[in-house]
Structures are given as C-alpha cells and as structure tokens.
Amino acid sequence: MHNREMINTIQDKIKISKKLKEKAIEEGFTIAGIASIPGGSRLKLRTYALERWLSNNHHAEMKWMEAERRKNINSLLNDAKSVLSVGFTYINSQNKNNNRLKIGKFSQGEDYHKVIEKKLKNIGKWINFEIPDCKWKICIDTSPLLEKAWAEESGIGWIGKNSNLISKKNGSWFTLGFMILTKDLIPDEPHQSLCGKCDICIERCPTNAIVEPFVIQSDLCIAYHTIENREKTIPKNIEENLNGWVAGCDICQDVCPWNKSVPYNNSFETTPKEWIKNLSIDSLNWDDETWKKNLKGTTLKRIKPWMWKRNIKANLKNNRIKI
C-alpha cells in the first residue's frame, strides 16, 4: 500500500510538472524547465565563479551584484523546493539596425520586465488553482538570483563563453524569468555546454571585454558603458570602438553560430518602437520631455536623456558614425 501511494505521488509530480511547463509555453514563453533546490554541484561552481568575478571587481559599478542573497535561493522564499525557469524570445524580424545609431535588440520592444512578470502572474493564478498548497515567488533580473545558473540547471540552455544563456533551438535571443516554488517537482536534466572549441564571441568583441571564456569585465563592455555608466564621459578605448552603439551591444550574440537561424517572435511585445527604428542624430535636439515620452514603457528609460546625448556624441567623435 505504501509503495502504491509512493508511485501515485511520483506520477502526480510528473503530471503537474509537465502541465506547469505546458502552461508556461501557453502563456507565450519559448522554453521552460524545472530545477530542484538546492541544485547540483555545478550550482556551487557557478556561485564560486560569481565570488571570483566580484573579487576581481569585474562588475564595476553594478554594486547590486554583491547582494549575499544571490548565493542563497532560500533567502528569497522560505521552504523553497523547486524553480521554474522560462525564456521569453525577444528577437523580431524588424530588429535590423539599418540606421547608424544601434540599440540592443532586447530593448527595442515593450519592457521585458513587465511582459515577463505579467505572464508569470498568470502562471501563479494557475498554480493557486492546480497546486493550492504551493507558495510561489516571481523573480526577474532585478531579483538577487543566480539566474543563468538556475536556468542552466533547469535544462533550458547553457551559459556560453559570452556569458549569455544559449538554447540549441532559440540561440541567446531571450530574456529569463523564474518562479521559486515550495512544491517538490520533477526536475529536468541540467544542460551541458555546447560551445565546444568555438571562440568567435571572444575574438570579435572589439574591446576585448570577454577576458576569458565565460568572464565579462564590465568596464570593458560597450553595453555596460552605454547603459550603466553614469560618468559624464565614456572612456576613450570604449568610445573608439562604439561603431554606432548607443544603447547596449549585440556583437557577441550576432556572431554566435547558435544564433544563425532562430525563430522570430513577432508579437506586439517585441516589435521595435518607431522612434527606435528611425533614431538619428536629430535626437540630440530632443528635450527631456520628448525623451521621457519615447522611453516610456521600455527598458531603455534606464538610460537618462543626458546619457543618450553623451553616447551619441561619443559616436560622432573621430567620425565613428557618419552624419
């Protein structure tokens, strides 16, 4: 009798785990997987890697990366037993950066934080009905979670040499979302790295920001300086290599072989804003209200109007872009 109950329990876990991932896909996520807490030995290695990255000050001024809670998932939700990891594809067929001023693809549509949170809340309502004794907590990249390590543990992809999570089918053009759960579910197999001997992302980074495989030195990264750097000027070695980038940088993803042929997500959520598609140096004449209006509802509002002007002017120096 006891064994039969055990089998039924396992069967129930298999069923509900499968239904949970199906619900995630139904909500518009491209990929979904489950990991058990505390995770395997690789999670510990990823935690040690984070500590080494921080001790080398590779996070530059991103002090929030130092949060101790990032190393302990149970600090985010008591009695946590499982993690649902999801990926939201943001690449859109209209993402082409034909204009001279370039913006990272992840930020050209709606604010992905809000998009992902809304979808996860819908999953949360489903959990409340299907697994009423399960508590849950939503985490996006604003939460102190070792997110790419948990996504890898959930089997939805692997951490590439450019530090992005990569999926065999969807490349790296997706942002991550998580639900920490107090229910013990059936975990997926952690993903193995498939980068192999390929070093294209390392070789093609114009500022050599990938200082070793899997390690980004933030103060050498174009994306860091165009989005996070709050200084009045951009360092000369970065400025000389901007090549049109004013918000983010996609070079290490554009050259990745796993991104050669991936499905688009042409939903309204990922469709580039018109002003982004047509951004030009005329924007140097925009007042703060115009910037505020255009940036509303996007992740790009993190870049303040004065920073946009700084980034554009930095590109104009030494004819880095043509007027």
Query: Which one from 141, 184, 250, 288 is the annotated catalytic residue?
Result: 141
Alpha-helical segments (H) within 213-267: 222-227, 236-239, 251-254
Instruction: Extract the runs of DSSP E, i.e. beta strands, from 169-243.
Output: 174-181, 210-212, 215-216
287 a catalytic residue: no
Distance CA 43, CA 318 (A): 45
Q: Are 123 and 25 in contact (CB under 8 A)?
A: no
Distance CA 243, CA 245 (A): 6
Distance CA 192, CA 159 (A): 9
Going from the C-alpha of 281 to that of each of 86, 132, 244, 286, the distances in angstroms are 37, 54, 11, 10
Going from the C-alpha of 317 to that of each of 229, 282, 308, the distances in angstroms are 18, 16, 15
Q: Which residues pair with 215 in a beta bridge?
A: 212
How many residues are recorded in the chain? 323
| DSSP assignments along 230-279, one per residue | -SSS--HHHHTT-TTEEE---HHHHT-GGGSS-----STTTSPPHHHHT-
Angle in degrees, 0-180, between the axes of helices 2-26 and 112-130, rounded to the nearest 10: 150
Distance CA 13, CA 15 (A): 5
Token pair recorded at residue 248: 């983010």
- Whether omega before 213 lies within 30 degrees of 0, making that bond cis, reads no
Catalytic annotation, residues: 141
